[in-house]
């Protein structure tokens, strides 16, 4: 493990009130004593941990900036190493200037995620907590932020460790019984093992099942807008975004491809996808767009079906209605500012879409959208997603490890049913134990660790 001294700007590279330059490693305090002078002219005091000192960063006797320096002695720091943080003025030029001084006096530039990687390698946090750090930074809504903070505090790790402890007990019992059959009996053990397996498998399945909800929490609700050409799909998207993002014209078929944007909707976020109008067409390019629109609808968490209430329904509408049957969808009767035709009313449309929420809106006059927002929040915040103390799996790597764990545990059950020797149980139990351990960083390969931390931002 590398223990040399690293440094980086730990705040965003944009002008702000305060910037932070972080230094960590065996020579962190030596570096800070070379470049920092307290207001009274003394060097930095590094004998006491968790202190803040006021003074100046200097180079060759010249004062560069007036700063505060925080001293944190290892192992009681974020990285577990001696760490110093310089709180300077937050101009980009100033932060870079101070970092240059730090690097010229014994530190090297940190790699992306290297501070958190050192925290992991030094045992300050496990791998799942380290991954939660970047999730906290990238959180796009309140639910995602709360869930990431829960994982950072160790809730997921605690659950994983508890399940691994039960598996390890069974491995140890089998191995002990095989080594010392005179004193440790395996009579009736298969039945008791199967009881434990059913319990662990049930909890692993619950974690796997939470992954779909976890994805919605972390990535946002994939919301696809569908409808005939000129129904007002792009106007709806622009209204939700609060900007002219999609091209809006009176020419049918203007939108030829999908267009995706992300917005916050209260405590949740939506990944909104505007699609080409669905209709029969001979235009090759438009036909491709229609195909993509249908594919996007099939992959959606939520479909918003926009109907132009000023024109009669036709076979294209009926095709869309068939497409959204059995899916989570909201129907918008758009252009309520225009006279509606007889067959387009909430009552008439509900005859074909009885289980769908139908809302009358006007994208032009921006009416009806408060009801749309409330409906979406009710569907996802008080429906399938219950944000309480349960652990939600939001990381694909974790989900894959849990599925592999489940497969190994099911193989143990198969071995019991097939009457195989107990050493077969031990092999698959050990595999399950290791697969689950990869989630928290035990029995995980170096290249996986490097790949995880390569996705971090600089300075974290």
**Helix 155-179 × helix 127-138 angle, to 10°:** 160
Mean pLDDT of 254-280: 70
- Residue 164 pLDDT exceeds 70: yes
**Model pLDDT for residues 228-263, shown as the tens digit of each residue:** 888 888 788 888 776 554 433 343 444 444 577 788
Mean pLDDT of 106-117: 93
The tokens for 169 are 């007990």
389-330-390 Cα angle (round to 5): 5
Model pLDDT, residue 248: 37
Q: Which of 143-147, 235-239, 402-406, 451-455 is predicted most confidently?
A: 402-406
**Model pLDDT for residues 54-69, shown as the tens digit of each residue:** 999 999 989 999 999 9
User: Residue 384 gets which letter from DSSP?
Assistant: I
Closest CA to 433 of 52, 167, 253: 167
For residue 148, name the pLDDT band (cuts at 50, 70, 90): confident
For residue 318, name the pLDDT band (cuts at 50, 70, 90): confident
Model pLDDT, residue 450: 81
User: Residue 10 gets which letter from DSSP?
Assistant: -
Mean pLDDT of 413-432: 92
Asked if the 6-124 domain carries CATH number 3.30.1360.120, the reply is yes
Model pLDDT, residue 282: 58
Model pLDDT, residue 103: 97
3-state DSSP assignment of residue 259: strand
For residue 1, name the pLDDT band (cuts at 50, 70, 90): low
Distance between CA atoms of 379 and 169, rounded to whole angstroms? 42
Distance between CA atoms of 239 and 365, rounded to whole angstroms? 10
Distance between CA atoms of 109 and 458, rounded to whole angstroms? 10
CB 290, CB 282: distance < 8 Å: no
Model pLDDT, residue 385: 46
209-220 as b/e: b if 16+ CB within 10 A = ebbebbbbbbbb
Q: Look up the CATH superfamily of 130-215+395-441.
A: tRNA modification GTPase MnmE domain 2 (1.20.120.430)
- Residue ranges covered by each domain of the chain: 6-124, 130-215+395-441, 224-384
**Model pLDDT for residues 181-230, shown as the tens digit of each residue:** 888 888 889 999 999 999 999 999 999 988 877 877 777 888 888 888 88
**Model pLDDT for residues 4-47, shown as the tens digit of each residue:** 999 999 998 888 899 999 999 999 999 999 999 999 999 999 99
What is the maximum span of the chain, computed from C-alpha positions, in angstroms? 89
Pick the more confident residue, 387 or 334: 334
For residue 381, name the pLDDT band (cuts at 50, 70, 90): low
Task: Give the mean pLDDT of the chain.
Answer: 85
For the question of whether the overall pTM of this predicted structure is more than 0.95, the answer is no
Which top CATH class is 224-384? Answer: alpha beta
Percent of the chain with pLDDT over 70: 91
């Amino acid at each position: 493990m590398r223990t040399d001294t690293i440094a980086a700007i730990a705040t965003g590279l944009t002008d702000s009130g305060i910037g932070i330059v972080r230094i960590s490693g065996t020579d962190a305090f030596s570096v800070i004593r070379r470049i920092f002078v307290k207001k009274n002219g003394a060097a930095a005091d590094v004998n006491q941990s968790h202190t803040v000192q006021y003074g100046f960063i200097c180079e060759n006797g010249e004062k560069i900036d007036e700063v505060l320096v925080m001293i944190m002695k290892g192992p009681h720091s974020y990285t577990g190493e001696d760490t110093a943080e310089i709180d300077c003025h937050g101009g980009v030029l100033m932060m870079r200037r101070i970092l240059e001084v730090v690097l010229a006096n014994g530190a090297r530039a940190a790699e992306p995620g290297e501070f958190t990687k050192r925290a992991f390698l030094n045992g300050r946090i496990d791998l799942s907590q380290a991954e939660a750090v970047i999730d906290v930074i990238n959180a796009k809504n309140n639910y995602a932020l709360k869930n990431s903070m829960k994982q950072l505090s160790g809730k997921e790790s605690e659950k994983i460790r508890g399940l691994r402890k039960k598996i390890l007990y069974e491995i140890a019992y089998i191995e002990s019984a095989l080594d010392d059959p005179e004193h440790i009996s395996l009579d009736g053990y298969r039945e008791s093992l199967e009881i434990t397996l059913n319990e662990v498998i049930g909890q692993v399945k619950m974690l796997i099942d939470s992954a779909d909800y976890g994805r919605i929490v972390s990535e946002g609700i994939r919301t696809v807008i569908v409808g005939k050409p000129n129904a007002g799909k792009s106007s709806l998207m622009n209204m939700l975004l609060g900007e002219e993002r999609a091209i809006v014209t009176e020419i049918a078929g203007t939108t030829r491809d999908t267009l995706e944007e992300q917005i916050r909707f209260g405590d949740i976020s939506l990944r909104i996808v505007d699609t080409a109008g669905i209709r029969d067409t001979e235009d090759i390019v438009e036909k491709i767009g229609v195909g993509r629109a249908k594919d996007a609808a099939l992959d959606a968490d939520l479909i918003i079906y926009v109907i132009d209430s000023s024109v009669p329904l036709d076979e294209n509408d009926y095709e869309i209605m068939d497409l959204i049957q059995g899916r989570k969808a909201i129907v918008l009767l758009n252009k309520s500012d225009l006279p509606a035709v007889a067959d387009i009313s909430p009552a008439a449309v509900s005859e074909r879409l009885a289980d769908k929420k139908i809302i009358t809106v006007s994208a032009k006059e921006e009416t009806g959208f408060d009801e749309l927002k409330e409906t979406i929040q009710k569907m996802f915040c008080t429906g399938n997603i219950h944000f309480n103390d349960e652990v939600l799996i939001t990381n694909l790597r974790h989900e894959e490890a849990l599925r592999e764990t489940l497969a190994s545990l099911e193989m143990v059950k198969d071995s019991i049913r097939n009457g195989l020797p107990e050493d077969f149980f031990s092999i698959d139990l050990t595999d399950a134990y290791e697969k689950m351990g990869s989630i928290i960083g035990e029995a995980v390969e170096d290249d996986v660790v490097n790949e995880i931390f390569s996705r971090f931002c600089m300075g974290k």
